[in-house]
């Protein structure tokens, strides 16, 4: 299959996906020579939208190059970590940690998870000049390649390649790096999904424009200011920075889950009713504009109260005092509830006098939302921004639990032998999950800049604390820590040395991804030791590595010849069954949590997953082919419509025998629609 992908990538253009969509939906807009008739296309749109000749868009050097990178298929394979994945705590886990370039990882995920990811959180490189970002995507293009593929001149092609070859950290290089990754991320999001992106001032404005370009300006939900260093960082000449940003873009049907109440907010629910349910008291009078009687005349009416009986009523009676909503200046105000709802909720009203002797009315708000009365939309105004009845997220987040120092201390408590320069707060990510998952019991969470693996740590705790079954997928580049050491200094160098020594003590490769893996293993140990509940099902994860096919292997793929009568296992031995099978299962849409099982065909092992039967192992002799055909004919429950063959495992005789028998199977009385897919 890699050989097939390499050949296919040679013909990829930057807009190939868009053209395919247009051809599928507007075939009449393409002329006989394949050119696109824009005039005809405008006729289709004329009565639906206004077509403008003017436009506003983000432009940067290499934008079409970035789009082409997104369109190219990945030429990597997925290697499962068999020793790790078969352990009891990991075997059934849906959590996945992928070691590899996230551009390749996203392309693999698209084949199984397109439109299925509920929440994406990423903390990409900020391009500050101190975070080590340099552009390092290298696909081996030449100037002539780019001139032909992108329809640009040689000067532009040279400038683009210069960015890729010299490790640039310019704005254009950062945009060129981020654009294809975000474009692929958009395709992974479900129609009720959301993406959160952490960033600081250096690239915030560029990121906003880029996300408007990719996700659509209309899908911008907001920009949250996250205060993560109250002391301030003295990295600016004039201002000590205390915050970062969290950009939020949503899909069409996204509904926010809001945020859980903080301990401080919960403390406001200091009263208890006769059943022991906690509640707080909130003003019934509308505060803050529009709060005047004339703004909502139907929300101005009297409520009557008898202090001796401690009862409210909607009509006057002996001993009852009239209470109307008055503003601070004594003028007429209004209530936030309509008359009908007040009449049905008299038992939860609490009149009280203020220091001016005026009566006001408060009402109960229960900590348990299900105990609060249902209010019709037309007789209710939303709570004022400074009141905390709801958990609706605001655009300013602060609290010690969000700080970088707390994040470091949390990490130190779990795994004291490693150091991350800029770990994110677990509580920050849990806030993101509460908003992004909207209370759904399941859903896929993705972080393709895995870093210190905070997102999976947070997802594990989120599942435990809320009894959810959310799946988390992490992608992290196996960045070589030894290679970074010569260019580091100060605290960063000390941290690197400490991390390398730790990985060495664990007999691990000296790469960043294994620091994340070790953190998750320590999280598992810590939670099991400090939690009495049965949480084994939450703490596991599977591990896979993306392996690039080197030039030597590609050469063997190109030169492979199966026309002889003797089987050549050379290519098969380079990959092995598990790598081929895992790569194909993801390619064919079965995700990392699939129902693949082995099938015995006269001693030959095949692999069956729903509509696909995989023939990967070498030496499928005539008896095995006969057993396969018999299985189709005799077992009504066995009917995979696709037989997928690893072409490198079959010599000419084996392949012809298989082709002949599959043809006979298709031509039989059962008329089975079986497709033979031979992959190289």
Q: Average model confidence (pLDDT) for the chain?
A: 87
pLDDT of residue 576: 95
Which two tokens mark 449?
């800049």
pLDDT of residue 141: 87
pLDDT of residue 382: 46
Q: Which of 179-183, 230-234, 671-675 has the lowest mean pLDDT?
A: 230-234
pLDDT of residue 32: 62
pLDDT of residue 667: 83
pLDDT of residue 488: 86
CA dist list (Å): 92 to 9, 96, 207, 237, 559: 35, 11, 38, 52, 40
Q: What is the pLDDT of residues 326-335, one digit of tens each?
A: 988 889 999 9
Q: How far apart are CA 157 and CA 143, in angstroms?
A: 5
pLDDT of residue 43: 54
Which two tokens mark 485?
């050491």
Residue 520 has pLDDT above 50, yes or no: yes
Which two tokens mark 385?
């921004």
Which two tokens mark 276?
């022991």
Classified as helix, coil or strand, 199 is strand
Higher pLDDT, 533 or 411: 411
Residue 341 has pLDDT above 60, yes or no: yes
Higher pLDDT, 50 or 526: 526
List of E strands, 48-175: 76-80, 96-99, 117-122
Q: What would the mean pLDDT of 669-674 be, rounded to a whole number? A: 78
Q: How far apart are CA 112 and CA 581, in angstroms?
A: 14
Residue 49 has pLDDT above 70, yes or no: no
The kind and range of the H/E element at 572 are helix 570-575
Q: Nearest 10 degrees: CA dihedral of 613, 614, 617, 621?
A: 40
Q: What is the pLDDT of residues 485-501, one digit of tens each?
A: 998 888 889 999 999 99
Q: Please report how many Cα atoms fall inside a 13 Å half-sphere around the Cα of residue 458, on the Cβ side.
A: 25
Which two tokens mark 14?
């930057």
pLDDT of residue 132: 77
637: buried, middle or exposed (CB in 10 Å: 19+, 13-18, 0-12)? exposed
Residue 472 has pLDDT above 60, yes or no: yes
pLDDT band of residue 473 (cuts 50, 70, 90) is very high
* b/e per residue 214-242 (b: at least 16 CB within 10 A): bbeeebebeebebebbeeeeeeeeeeeeb
Classified as helix, coil or strand, 660 is helix
Q: What is the pLDDT of residues 554-596, one digit of tens each?
A: 888 888 877 777 778 889 999 999 999 999 999 999 999 999 9
Higher pLDDT, 669 or 268: 268
pLDDT band of residue 386 (cuts 50, 70, 90) is very low
Which two tokens mark 415?
């795994």
| Continuous H helices in 337-403 | 339-344
Residue 340 has pLDDT above 50, yes or no: yes
Q: How far apart are CA 448 and CA 455, in angstroms?
A: 10
Residue 380 has pLDDT above 60, yes or no: no
Residue 24 has pLDDT above 70, yes or no: no
pLDDT of residue 168: 80
Classified as helix, coil or strand, 363 is strand
Residue 290: is the preceding peptide bond cis (ω within 30°)? yes
Residue 44 has pLDDT above 80, yes or no: no
Domains along the chain?
2-45 (no CATH), 63-134+169-260+398-545 (3.40.50.150), 264-379 (no CATH), 551-679 (no CATH)
Q: How far apart are CA 210 and CA 224, in angstroms?
A: 17
Q: How far apart are CA 26 and CA 13, in angstroms?
A: 19
Q: How far apart are CA 360 and CA 325, in angstroms?
A: 7
pLDDT band of residue 151 (cuts 50, 70, 90) is confident
Classified as helix, coil or strand, 87 is coil
Q: How far apart are CA 289 and CA 296, in angstroms?
A: 11
Q: Apex CA 244: angle with CA 56 and CA 382, to 5°?
A: 80
Higher pLDDT, 385 or 164: 164
pLDDT band of residue 28 (cuts 50, 70, 90) is low
Residue 343 has pLDDT above 60, yes or no: yes
pLDDT of residue 506: 96
Structure-token match 């004339």, residue found:
294
Higher pLDDT, 128 or 621: 621
Q: How far apart are CA 367 and CA 143, in angstroms?
A: 64
Which two tokens mark 8?
């296919």
Pairing outcome for strands 442-447 and 117-122:
parallel
Pairing outcome for strands 642-646 and 675-679:
parallel
pLDDT of residue 432: 96
In the chain, % of residues over pLDDT 90: 56
Q: What is the pLDDT of residues 413-431, one digit of tens each?
A: 999 999 988 889 999 999 9
pLDDT of residue 383: 44
Q: What is the pLDDT of residues 76-120, one digit of tens each?
A: 999 999 999 999 999 999 999 999 999 999 999 999 999 999 999
pLDDT band of residue 479 (cuts 50, 70, 90) is very high
Which two tokens mark 148?
């032909």
Structure-token match 């824009």, residue found:
38
Q: What would the mean pLDDT of 467-481 be, rounded to a whole number? A: 96
pLDDT of residue 384: 42
Beta bridge mates, 677: 644
pLDDT of residue 389: 39
pTM exceeding the 0.85 threshold for the entire prediction: no
Answer yes or no: are the C-beta atoms of 547 and 79 closer than 8 Å: yes
- Phi and psi at residue 315, in whole multiples of 5°? -135, 155
Which two tokens mark 295?
């703004």
Q: Count H helices, E strands: the chain?
A: 25, 22
Query: Which of 501-508's residues contact partners 24+ apart within 8 Å by CB, and which partners?
Result: 502/417, 502/418, 505/417
Higher pLDDT, 568 or 63: 63
Which two tokens mark 312?
């409210």
pLDDT of residue 290: 86
């Amino acid at each position: 299959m890699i050989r097939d992908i390499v050949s296919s990538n040679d013909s990829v253009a930057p807009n190939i996906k868009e053209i395919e969509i247009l051809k599928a939906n507007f075939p009449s807009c393409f002329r006989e020579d394949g050119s696109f008739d824009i005039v005809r296309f405008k006729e289709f749109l004329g009565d639906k939208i206004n077509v403008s000749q003017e436009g506003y868009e983000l432009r940067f050097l290499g934008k079409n190059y970035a789009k082409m990178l997104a369109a190219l298929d990945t030429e990597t394979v997925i290697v499962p970590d068999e020793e790790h994945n078969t352990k009891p705590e990991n075997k059934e886990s849906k959590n996945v940690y992928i070691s590899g370039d996230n551009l390749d990882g996203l392309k693999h995920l698209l084949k199984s998870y397109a439109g299925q990811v509920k929440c994406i959180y990423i903390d990409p490189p900020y391009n500050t000049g101190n975070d080590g970002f340099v552009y390092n995507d290298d696909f081996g293009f030449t100037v002539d390649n780019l001139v032909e593929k992108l329809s640009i001149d040689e000067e532009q092609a040279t400038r683009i390649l210069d960015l890729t070859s010299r490790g640039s950290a310019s704005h254009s290089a950062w945009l060129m790096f981020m654009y294809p990754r975000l474009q692929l991320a958009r395709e992974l999001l479900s129609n009720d999904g959301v993406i959160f992106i952490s960033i600081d001032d250096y690239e915030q404005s560029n990121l906003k424009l880029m996300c408007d370009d990719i996700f659509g300006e209309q899908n911008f939900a907001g920009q949250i200011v996250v205060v993560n260093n109250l002391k301030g960082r003295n990295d600016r000449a004039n201002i000590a920075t205390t915050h970062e940003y969290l950009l939020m873009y949503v899909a069409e049907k996204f509904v926010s889950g809001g945020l859980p109440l903080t301990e401080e907010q919960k403390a406001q629910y200091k009263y208890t009713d006769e059943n022991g349910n906690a509640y707080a008291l909130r003003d019934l009078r509308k505060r803050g504009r529009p709060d005047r009687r004339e703004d909502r005349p139907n929300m101005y009416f009297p409520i009557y109260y008898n202090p001796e009986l401690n009862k409210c009523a909607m009509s006057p009676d002996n001993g009852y005092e009239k209470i109307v909503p008055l503003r601070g200046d004594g003028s007429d105000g209004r209530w936030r509830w309509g008359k009908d709802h007040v009449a049905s909720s008299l038992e939860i009203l609490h009149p009280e006098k203020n220091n001016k002797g005026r009566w006001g009315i408060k009402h109960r708000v229960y900590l348990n939302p299900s105990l609060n009365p249902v209010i019709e939309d037309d007789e209710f105004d939303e709570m004022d921004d400074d009141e905390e009845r709801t958990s609706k997220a605001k655009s300013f987040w602060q609290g010690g639990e969000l700080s970088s120092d707390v994040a470091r201390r949390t990490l130190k408590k779990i795994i004291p032998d490693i150091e991350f320069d800029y770990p994110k707060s677990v509580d920050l990510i849990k806030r993101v999950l509460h908003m992004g998952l909207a209370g759904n019991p399941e859903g896929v969470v993705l972080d393709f800049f895995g870093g210190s693996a905070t997102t999976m740590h947070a997802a594990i705790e989120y599942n435990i604390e809320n009894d959810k079954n959310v799946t988390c997928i992490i992608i992290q580049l196996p960045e070589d820590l030894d290679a970074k050491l010569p260019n580091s200094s100060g605290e960063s160098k000390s941290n690197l040395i400490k991390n390398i020594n730790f990985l060495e003590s664990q007999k691990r490769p000296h790469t960043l991804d294994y620091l994340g893996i070790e953190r998750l293993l320590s999280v598992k140990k810590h939670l099991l030791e400090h939690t009495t509940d049965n949480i084994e099902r939450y703490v596991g994860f599977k591990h896979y590595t993306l392996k690039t096919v080197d030039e030597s292997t590609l050469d063997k793929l190109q030169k492979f010849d199966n026309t002889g009568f003797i089987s050549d296992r050379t290519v098969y031995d380079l990959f092995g069954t598990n790598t081929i099978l895992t790569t194909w299962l993801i390619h064919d849409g079965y995700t990392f949590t699939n129902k693949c099982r082995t099938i015995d065909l006269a001693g030959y092992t095949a692999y069956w997953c729903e509509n696909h039967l995989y023939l990967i192992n070498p030496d499928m002799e005539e008896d095995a082919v006969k057993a396969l055909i018999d299985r189709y004919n005799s077992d009504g429950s066995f009917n995979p419509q696709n037989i997928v063959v690893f072409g490198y495992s079959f010599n000419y005789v084996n392949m012809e025998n298989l082709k002949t028998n599959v043809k006979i199977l298709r031509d039989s009385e059962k008329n089975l629609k079986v497709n033979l897919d031979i992959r190289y």
